[in-house]
Amino acid sequence: MKKVWIYLENGIFLEGKSFGSIGTKVGEIVFNTSMTGYQEIITDPSYAGQFVTFTMPEIGNVGVNEEDMESVSAYAKGIIVRNYQKRFSNFRGKESLDELLKRYDVMGICDIDTRFLTKVLRDSGNQMMIASTEINDKEELKKILESSPRIEEINYIKEVSTKKSYIHNQGIYDARVFSYNPAPPSKAKIVAIDFGVKRNILNNLCEAGLEVEVIPQDFDEKDLIKRYENKEIDGIFLSNGPGDPLILKDIHEKIKKLIEAKIPMFGICLGHQLLSISHGYPTFKLKFGHHGGNHPVRNEKTKKVEITAQNHNYNVPQEISQIAEITHKNLFDNTIEGLKYKNTPIFSVQHHPEASPGPHDSRYIFKEFVDMILEHRNRS
């Protein structure tokens, strides 16, 4: 393993060892508290532009496989771990994590005190950092970091979104038979706008009874409205994705038109944030975000607590309760986790109901989308 040097914008300078891709990379550093699922995290497009610090100390021990890929690539800048295990042992493992990282140009950094690093981020908040296997001079790293664009200035959805439309017709993974369920007969057809969608979200939409057409982020809102009016589609899904939603101004204007057309819509994570902004309520950045598979969320209708998986740095403001019913709340910090907009067939959640940390606490949300579409279609 080569040596690698890390410099954080608060002045912290660390030395570790590298695996995966080598070189010099700049990104935002966050921490993730999940105990399992490192491959799903690394291949989640929402981590584009970020270094993920794992609080789980042993990473790489079960290898990787094709079935656990959440997208066609891995978009994170890098991962930071305490101990990396190149020799994996699992009956589903097909290759090492090191091989996956090299294939998709993701830097791996190990032999770092991730407990210390997590405390730094918890106290100081997420920040930009630079990592290099080529440069060991602190001042030179600082100079490069200061001259690099910040994550909130970069539109990463252009990089992670599909370049052409396609049909997704695969259900959820069945661990009992080690294969994906075929999609059940569809009850309605939707368009999923891909801002960096996770494959398992599409699987759950299909499993709920939807025919899913995935389209790129540079969609034509007029065409979607026309297709809806001609009854070619029954609803729209707004996906998760990376970066600051406030910079996506062209997307805001397009979603406003979809809202005005009263098309049934459902958003997850970035989609949840974009719906808020498009309704006139800008998002704000959390100190260190929510990243992990152990976040308790209370369903405000049933009062049940769901264990959820989360991955976001931004949140919608409390003032949005003027135009939307708050359906879910985060019990860690009381931030909004779900909304149902008044007088429109639109709802959204901030957490990830497809990630199954509970394991199925929030999967009902996909069924609610189907029920809303069918109810709205019957009224029309």
Residues labelled catalytic: 269, 352, 354
- When computed from its CA atoms, the radius of gyration of the chain, rounded to whole angstroms, is 21
What is the rounded CA–CA span in Å between residue 248 and residue 233?
25
Furthest CA-CA distance within the chain: 66
Residue 51's closest CA among 88, 85, 87, 16?
Answer: 16
DSSP of 274-338: HHHHHTT---EEEEEEEEEEEEEEEETTT--EEEEEEEEEEE--GGGGGTEEEEEEETTT--EEE
Indicate the SS3 state at residue 27: strand
- Other CB atoms within a 10 A radius of the CB of residue 5 amount to 22
What is the rounded CA–CA span in Å between residue 241 and residue 253?
18
Structure token digits, residue 128: 């930009």
Residue 30's closest CA among 251, 219, 312?
Answer: 312
CA 167, 173, 178, 182 dihedral sign is negative
How do strand 13-20 and strand 107-110 relate by DSSP bridges? antiparallel
